[in-house]
Structures are given as C-alpha cells and as structure tokens.
Structure 1
Amino acid sequence: MQLTIPTILTLLRIVMIPVLVVVFYLPFDWSNLAALLIFITAAITDWLDGWIARRFGMSSAFGAFLDPVADKLMVAVALILIVQRNPELLLAISAAVIIGREITVSALREWMAELGQGARVRVAWTGKMKTILQMVAIGFLLFAQDLFGLPILSIGIWLLVAAAVLTILSMITYLRAAWPAVQQQR
C-alpha cells in the first residue's frame, strides 16, 4: 500500500489524539487554547485530506476507511475529556448520544455495505449540520474560558445539546433509509 498525502494527513489526525490528551491536562493557563488549536488543526486536516483526495485523484479504499475512523476517535476522545472536566448531566447525556450515534451509524453503514446497499445510508444534510455544530461546540468546550464577556463554556454546552438533538434526527434519517433492507433480512 502506498501512502498518499490524504492518508498521511488522516494518520496525523490519529497521532494528534494523544497529544490533545496530554495538552488538555497540562497545568498551564494556555493549555485550553492549545487544546483548541490542536482540535482546529485536526478539523482542518480532515477537510484538507478530503479536498486533496478529490482534487488530485488520491482517493484510496484505505483512506476512505480510515478518515471517518480518525474523525470519530478525535470527537469521542475530546467529548470524554470535556465531560471528565465538567461532569454535568446535560453535557454527559449529549456526549453519550453523540458517541452512541457514531457507533450505531458506523455499524449500520458497514452492514448496509455488506448487503450491497451502502448508497441508502449516504450522508444527509442533518448529518452535515450535526457535524458542523458538534465541531463548534467541542471547540468552545475545549477552550471553556470566558472571552470578551461571553460565557464560552455555557454557549458550548448549549451548542452540544443542539448537536445532540441533530444527532438523533440524523440517526433517525439513516435508520429510516436502511429500514427496507432491515425488513428484507427478516
């Protein structure tokens, strides 16, 4: 297997996960900002690897498999760190919903692909909106410090709750799309 630039960027995102964890726990005033910058860098490399793969024809089966895995790992680890630092019920439920949905939809996509019906569970607009809202919320929650009088942590919590609602809606969309295939397997 030849490593392409997009695959290298995806692998870099996976390597950034333990770096995020270490920086998150550093006892310095700047650690929240550094954790945020690591997360933003991961989000940028996610966009960049997809763009490069499409633009320059560097797509690969391994890259297509690894990219969503890297994304889900980064999001799950970030959410676990955030909930550990702020063990609030609303935050914990939202994180559990998001992580649970990611596992469920990933399994559903894999199963549908095995049935030859992967096209039924393509990314929907609710999934894209959920991702955007979730990334912004996680960024706010990693930073977690008031900025220009804005309560960043509180805003991040409510954004994550909104992302969790969209998460449920997008999961319902995927399950409804897959339902005919589920009925056929009975």
Structure 2
Amino acid sequence: MPWNFPILLTWLRILFIPIFTLLFYLPANWVSNQQIINWLAAFFFAAAAVTDWFDGYLARRWGQTSNFGAFLDPVADKLMVAVALILLVATGRTYAIFAMIIIGREITISALREWMAQQGKRNNVAVAQIGKFKTAAQMAAIFLLLLSSATITNPNNLSQLGNLLMLIACVLTIWSMLYYLKMAAKEFKA
C-alpha cells in the first residue's frame, strides 16, 4: 500500500466518518445548542468534500497517482455521502427516497465500473461531466441540510433549499446512471 500526502488526505476523509457520525449521538446534556452540532457536522462534511477535490488534484499534479489511491478515493466518498444521507433521513431532514436513489446509484455504478474493469474497458465508464454536476448538487444539498435543524415536516428556508438541491441531485443521479449504463451497453451485448 503506497503512502503519500494525497492518500493521507483520503484516509483523513475516512477518519472523519466516525467523528461526523458521533456528533449526532452525543447526549443532549453535552451540547445545549443543536446548532453547534449542525455547524460541526457541516464543517466535517465540507472538509471531507474539500479533501476529496484536493487529494485528486495533488495526486495528479505531483505524479502520485496509484491503483490503491484510485480504489480508496471513491470508497471514502461513497461512505461519507451514504453516512450523511442516512443521518439526514434519521433526523427527518430529508426524504428516504432521495437516499435510496443516491445510494442505489452509487452501488450500481461501482459494480458496473468493477465489471467493466474486468472486461478491460474501465475507461468506457470513467467519470463524466454529468457525474461532476451530480456530485456538486449532492454535496451542496447535504451541506445545507446538515446546517438546518428543521425537518421535512417543519421546514425552514435552508431545509427547503437543501431538499430542492437534493431533488436536483437525484435527477442528475438518475441521468448520470443512465449515461454510464449507455456507455457500457455494448459490453452487455458481447
């Protein structure tokens, strides 16, 4: 397993997951203001999103790309997003259908990429622009929903905007999944 600064950033992102999760399970008497927990959770999520961009940029810029880094980076991303979505659903801040669509797509495309790699055609399903738009909408939506202590039954402007962005992210999620499946379709026939 190679060690370099970009891979350390990816491991840091994975380390943020239990810290991020524990914030939601702190005893009520430890923190008197829920907004503090929301801000901390949003901070850890934003830091993870920034390190996601930064580790890839540095790996390419410094010539430190590796097969292990290419494996670990998307795993860290998907774990953080899945945990955040589950916590947002559990706290009533977003709809379960949004989480099901996004997590389901991530599992499907990860399996598709693995299968395409076995066929020697991984580049056929490399990250496309639509996937980048999906990720941006998804990250912004999750960030806003983490900041908001409102619920879907009693929303405020922040939660309404977050859920609107989540809806947009879900549309882009389905669109990008269909795009990747189309790119792999000729391999299905073979």
| TM-score (ref. length: structure 1) | 0.92
Distance in 1 (alpha carbons) for counterparts of 2:165 and 2:14: 25
Matches within 5 A, 1:17-96: 17-26=17-26, 27=28, 28=31, 29=33, 30-86=36-92, 91-96=95-100
Task: Report what 2:170 is aligned to.
Answer: 164
Contact 2:116 2:125 in 1 (8 A): yes
Task: Report what 2:140 is aligned to.
Answer: 136
Segments of structure 2 that go 5 or more residues without pairing to the other structure are: 151-155
Aligned-pair RMSD on alpha carbons? Answer: 1.4
Distance in 1 (alpha carbons) for counterparts of 2:2 and 2:22: 31
Contact 1:145 1:151 in 2 (8 A): no
**Residue 124 of structure 1, CA deviation:** 1.6
Contact 1:83 1:92 in 2 (8 A): yes
The one-letter code of the counterpart of 1:8 is: L
Regions of 4+ moved over 6 Å: none
Contact 2:93 2:149 in 1 (8 A): no
**Equivalent residues, number:** 179
Distance in 2 (alpha carbons) for counterparts of 1:36 and 1:87: 14
**Residue 119 of structure 1, CA deviation:** 1.3
The one-letter code of the counterpart of 1:103 is: I
Distance in 1 (alpha carbons) for counterparts of 2:40 and 2:159: 16
**Residue 87 of structure 1, CA deviation:** 6.7
Task: Report what 1:117 is aligned to.
Answer: 121
Distance 1:56 1:35, change over 3 A: same
Contact 1:145 1:152 in 2 (8 A): no
The one-letter code of the counterpart of 2:53 is: W
